[in-house]
């Protein structure tokens, strides 16, 4: 399928979604969000795609926030609907039962920062910059930024970043726990793809369970989270991937995972 605002390519078992509005610094319009939702849905239904990378076209921006020209036309109702659309896309990224890596190659501002935070982890260029600057427009983050940022960097720091609109660089983001790794700009995509291909070779069922248990357990008390973990562990023990992984270990060879179907 052809898109106007994003590109979608498949490299072996890795899908790459590229925000493709470089003249607008890949700003998010309603049409862009709808296209992203469409891609996420297609990835969810395609078992041959094991991992998804999100990145931005050009060398300046991952996503430089929402499209301000479009925002300027909103009334309170349309603004709420736009916020709900953006939140919906972020939830779809989180719910995707496959690893999603944000490959942040430049500015991740406003909605761009929020989309990056919805991914499983962030790899950033040393030129990347992160910000929730909505306060400077008399607004607040609306795609889940106040909620995900506080879970990643703590309540006090999240309030400071949202209240001041301060922009931080990739290294600061790493120190705060927002960014997983920082790479030189010219190495970022290759290093991200290297990790994506490595993940694609692992058990899809185990990766899906890890994502579900970590995300589901974070808002539970410890005992409930551990119960969720134990249940998921038991399910993994009934999979073909588990049998292949154990056999490969005992036979001192590399495992060849094909799926996660349960023993019959």
- In the set 35, 84, 94, 114, the catalytic residue is 114
- What's 17's DSSP letter? E
d(CA 4, CA 171): 33
Told to judge if 231 belongs to the known catalytic residues of this protein, a careful annotator would answer no
Nearest by Cα to 74 from 62, 85, 87, 60 = 85
CB 105 within 8 A of CB 170: no
Integer angstrom CA distances of residue 203 from 64, 149, 230, 254: 35, 30, 18, 12
Q: How is 177-203 classified by DSSP, letter by letter?
A: TS-SEEE-GGGHHHHHHHHHHHHHTS-
CA 152, distance to chain mean position in Å, is 13
Q: How far apart are CA 234 and CA 49, in angstroms?
A: 25
Q: Which of 4, 35, 84, 134 is catalytic?
A: 134
Say if residues 232 and 213 touch (Cβ distance below 8 Å): yes
Burial of 31 (0-12, 13-18, 19+ CB in 10 A): middle
- Starting at the edge strand found earlier in the chain, the sheet holding 6-11 runs 6-11, 14-19, 51-56, 100-104, 121-125, 181-183
Rounded Cα gap, residues 27 and 36, in angstroms: 13
Q: Are 92 and 27 in contact (CB under 8 A)?
A: no
Residue 114 annotated among the catalytic residues of the structure:
yes
**Among all residues, which ones are annotated catalytic?**
114, 134
């Amino acid at each position: 399928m052809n898109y106007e605002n994003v590109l979608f390519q498949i490299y072996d078992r890795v899908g790459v979604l590229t925000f493709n509005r470089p003249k607008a610094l890949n700003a998010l319009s309603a049409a862009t969000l709808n296209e992203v939702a469409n891609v996420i849905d297609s990835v969810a239904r395609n078992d041959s795609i094991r991992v998804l990378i999100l990145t931005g076209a050009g060398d300046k921006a991952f996503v430089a926030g929402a499209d301000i020209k479009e925002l300027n036309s909103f009334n309170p109702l349309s603004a709420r609907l736009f916020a709900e659309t953006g939140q919906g896309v972020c939830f779809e990224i989180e719910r995707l039962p496959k690893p999603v890596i944000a490959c942040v190659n430049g500015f991740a501002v406003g909605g761009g920062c929020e989309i990056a935070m919805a991914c499983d982890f962030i790899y950033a260029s040393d030129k990347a910059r992160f910000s929730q600057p909505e306060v400077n427009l008399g607004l607040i983050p609306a795609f889940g930024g106040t909620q995900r940022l506080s879970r990643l960097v703590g309540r006090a720091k999240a309030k400071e970043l949202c209240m001041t609109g301060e922009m931080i660089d990739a290294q600061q983001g790493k120190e705060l726990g927002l960014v997983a790794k920082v790479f030189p700009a010219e190495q970022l995509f290759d290093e991200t793809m290297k990790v994506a291909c490595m993940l694609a070779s692992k058990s899809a069922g185990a990766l899906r369970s890890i994502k579900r248990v970590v995300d589901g357990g974070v808002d539970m008390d410890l005992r409930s989270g551990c119960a969720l973990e134990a249940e998921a562990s038991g399910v993994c023990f009934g999979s073909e991937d588990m049998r292949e992984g154990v056999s490969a270990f005992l036979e001192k060879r590399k495992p060849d995972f094909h799926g996660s179907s349960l023993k019959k």
